[in-house]
Chains A and B, each alone.
Chain A
Amino acid sequence: MKSLFLIQIFFYLLGGACAFFSSRNEAIRNAATLVSAILAGGVGVVYSLLVLWTGRAFSLEFHGFSLFGNLQFTVDPLSGFFIFSISLLSVATSIFAIGYTRSHPGKYKMRLSGFFYHLFILAMILVVSSQNAFYFLIFWEVMSLGSYVLVILEHENPQALRAGILYLIMTHIGTALILAGFLLLFIHSGSFSFEAFRLHQATLPPGLKNAIFFMALAGFGTKAGLIPFHIWLPEAHPAAPSHVSALMSGVMIKTAIYGLLRFFFNFLGEIPAWWGPVVLAVAMISTLLGILYALMEHDLKRLLAFSSIENIGIILLGVGMALLFASMQQWPLAIFSLTAALYHTLNHAAFKGLLFLSAGSVLYETHTPDMESLGGLIKKMPFTAFCFLVGAVAISALPPLNGFVSEWMTFIALLAGCEGPAAIRFFSPILASLLGLAGALAATCFVKAFGIVFLGSPRSACVEEAGEVPLSMKSGMAVMAMACFALALGAPWIVQILGTLSASLVGKKLETDMFTQTLFLQSPSGLSQISPTLIAIALGSLILGAFIGTRFIFGKAFVKQGPSWDCGLPSLVSRMQYTATGFSKPLRRIFSFLYQPARRVELEDEGHEMLRTAERFESKITHIFDDFIYKPISKMIADVSEKAKRIQTGHIQLYLSYIFITLILLLLFGIRR
């Protein structure tokens, strides 16, 4: 397995090198680059599955430059799980990219993007397998910068550049906090290696422990897009090419989940009772606000980015319950909650990857992500439409697909809180019902996304020229669509594997059949059980039965084609359809306390109000975190800088005197010590 790990790294390096050095022929270079990424992903899937299946870790150690400890990689089941998600999704995105990047050779600057694409995936793999804080941070930084370059590929577009800078700033604030967390751990344990952190975790003083907890939560939370650290996510993810957006939303933000799990369960020893509720509160806010903002978007990729914030929230609901139960020493429930979180992590990688790839296909054919100018695409691109529909059903947590299974587990984990201490006993079922609200809002959001983009009649000319995407892009989507089905049908086996992994993470052993019983998933408290496999079979056969039954009893239906009912108007035009903005109007009104919507209507007429020449309608909502937190902060920084300009006159004498004064002050300080 060690050799497979090295082979994977080798393929990524090879792919990156290919992008730079190989043939001048764009097509050949492109193919060589992406094929090596596909092979690397395939190898990754194989050995990570082996690690997950056998539960045996392997490590690799490189001696040499060892100021900060040796460069050491360990792939234990947790790392293996994340490597599996990354590799699986990267296979699909790389297949997709063969077609996606071909059409615009200039646009995607293949040399640059090919190189950084490989570097980005490689860095993610190394982040989750690295066993030393110093190298972890280096790979973390490579991952962030690699994705930064991919975000600003279209740097001619000022919006992409702005998104890139925002991303760069936010991700470094996050990295700084993580670095601080690691440094505190270093001070305590005297080493940068994860092994040392683990050994010394029991003796961590409570104050230090809590400080590290908050630094990790905020630092990794920034990467994960947790509200209120999310502002970069809806800007940066849509700006990247779609196959990279899929990776960023599908797996990159999950590396933050990996970091959180390592910190919470490996480095920080005993867990205080209040950590769980803190994580739950943050997670619930992200879940609800993420989906509420997604509902108001009419840019397809931004909508998907906001929904990633929601899903990170759902994952952290599981993590929060796990922390809570771990602090109460209720290990079966803690393991169950953790399993729910990990399962949702994998599921979200699958359906969000699928949705971003399908959105990429739409973008590829129509050149616009604006939902208001799309419509009727199901006729032009039936395969893409089907894939998007699979993703939409899965992300709305509807049976029989995978989203339902992991959301059900999260529900059960939350409800198990009813048996906990009085403080959370009442809140956990309320949280569960709010998760239900988020699920229902997600369904609304994706009815809107699918309905407006793919159904109805075309809203602009850019749909007319669209056609189905090339085979490579279809295959990329097909891989992820099949993953969505497989992750639902194979639920009992997946839960068994993930349960064992979660148990090892909290240092316990999972009894077989605790969560699963042949085809069934069951909650450890005996509250409930479901069988995703039987549900899929029953649902499928009932739908088919309804079809065959009516056909058998009443024969073939007589069908006549006709126009949609037009209320007697001369004809229906596509502008009479509901728009994305119109569709979300009821919720915009109901949640107006949050959105603070503003609208402006301008009318121009020629002297008489009946003779209008132009109408302009503008509607926007307020993003409270941007407007009330980040804008004041950035304004304050700008103001302070403005004031600081006064001492910067440009005279060298003055600068010399500054240096002199500083020196004297430092000397005085030194003497006093």
Chain B
Amino acid sequence: MKTFYIWLAQWLLLILLAPLITWWMRKIKAAFENRVGPNPFQVYCDLLKLFRKEMVISKTSSWIFHAAPYVLFGAILFATTLIPVIGSGSLLGFVGDAILFVYLLGLGRFFMSLAALDTGTTFGGMGASREMSLSSLAEPALLLSFFALGYRAHNLSLQGIMSQFALESPIQVLFFTSFAFGALLIITFVETGRIPVDNPATHLELTMIHEAMALEYSGRYLALLEWGHQIKQIIFLALLANLFFPWGLEPSPNLFGIAGSFLFFMLKIFFLALVIGWIEAHTAKLRLFRVPDLLAIAFVLAALSLLGQLIIGR
């Protein structure tokens, strides 16, 4: 029963702390650009404001437009329950594996793209078309890196992989999975819509992907989309942190140990966010038709990770 509460708590914390990571990444970018950046509460205030604001809904749209934010948010909440944060279990980790995780994100994307087409604008179509095309290419790389890790762990569920890696010595884990780490890092940029793939801060039609899809949204629905996006970001950071640096996952059973373990986890993802922010601040955005090359690199990296294990042994 106690572990259940831990799992519930870690799920809620991931959801609630997602905006904080967004703040942190904005702050890092601001620091690199010699700006001050927002204060930590800004992102939360934005969300709260959006939740209360009036919505303007296009006359062209149908019920799909109303359903999509909830489906996306629900699917991402579900994906979040599959990720172990502290301890080696997660709330619903037993109902599905990494494949389910990938397809849940796919479900959210599917409805989001439909909603973008629903308003009958050019921007919506543009965003949906680009998002679906690029993520079709990202999905095999994401799956293959999970397969590479799953092969090593003899298990394809995210909690199974993490608890297996937590038992091994750090060097062993890193040696075999470093390629997969590279692949997953690239996928993180694609899935969370960051430079060099997409720019979350722009509304310029030539470069928009995710923002183009959300363009017609306002008020509560926009808040759900934004928050969902932030949760997706923290999920991917959590994956990177816990799959490749799976230490400190098993807390001692008292409250102090759990809190310590959680703080250590936060430290890991703040560090990873720093790395991603640094990369983002120091690269230029790729041309749209250069992104497939980047994804091909991710695919090859994931394949190499698997090939290495198959040749040398796990």
Contacts and interface: CB of A to CB of B under 8 A. Distances in A.
B306 interface: yes
B62 A455 contact: yes
Interface in A456-514: 456-457
A574 B310 CA distance: 54
B285 to A, nearest CB: 16
B44 to A, nearest CB: 14
A550 interface: yes
A398 B52 CA distance: 32
A451 B110 CA distance: 10
A425 interface: yes
Contact of A426 (B52, B74, B117, B306): B306
Interface residues of B, number: 87
Contacts of A376: 60, 120
Contact of B139 (A436, A528, A563): A436
Interface stretch (A4-12, A90-98, A538-546): A538-546
Given A450-B114, A576-B122, A429 B140 contact: no
A296 to B, nearest CB: 13
B95 A430 contact: no
A433 interface: yes
B74 A546 contact: yes
A558 B75 contact: no
Given A399-B100, A441-B136, A527 B156 contact: yes
A439 B100 CA distance: 13
Interface in B85-121: 92, 94-97, 99-100, 102-104, 106-107, 109-110, 113-114, 117-121
Contacts of A546: 70, 73-74, 77, 224
Interface string A587-620: 1011000000000000000000000000000000
A557 interface: yes
Interface in B46-82: 51-64, 70-71, 73-75, 77-78, 81
Interface stretch (B31-39, B193-201, B213-221, B254-262): B213-221
B306 A398 contact: no
Interface in A532-588: 534-535, 538-539, 542-547, 550, 553-554, 557-566, 572, 574, 576-578, 582-587
Q: Among the interface residues A545, A562, A590, which one has the most CB atoms of the partner chain B within 10 A?
A: A590
Given A399-B103, A444-B133, A456 B144 contact: no
Q: Is the interface of A mostly helix, strand, loop or mixed?
A: helix
Contacts of B56: 560-562
B117 A415 contact: no
Interface string B132-161: 111111111111100110110011110010
**Chain A to chain B: the 4 pairs with minimum beta-carbon distance, closest first:** A578-B125, A543-B74, A451-B117, A456-B120
Interface of A: 375-376, 378-379, 385, 393, 396-399, 404, 408, 411-412, 415, 418, 425-426, 429-430, 432-434, 436-437, 439-441, 443-444, 447-448, 450-452, 455-457, 526-531, 534-535, 538-539, 542-547, 550, 553-554, 557-566, 572, 574, 576-578, 582-587, 589-590
Interface of B: 51-64, 70-71, 73-75, 77-78, 81, 92, 94-97, 99-100, 102-104, 106-107, 109-110, 113-114, 117-126, 128-130, 132-144, 147-148, 150-151, 154-157, 160, 215-216, 219-220, 224, 288-289, 292, 299, 302-303, 306-307, 310
24 contacts: A396-B110, A398-B103, A415-B150, A430-B144, A437-B139, A443-B109, A448-B132, A451-B114, A455-B118, A455-B120, A530-B99, A531-B96, A538-B92, A538-B95, A543-B71, A543-B73, A543-B74, A543-B75, A559-B54, A559-B55, A562-B56, A563-B60, A572-B120, A585-B129
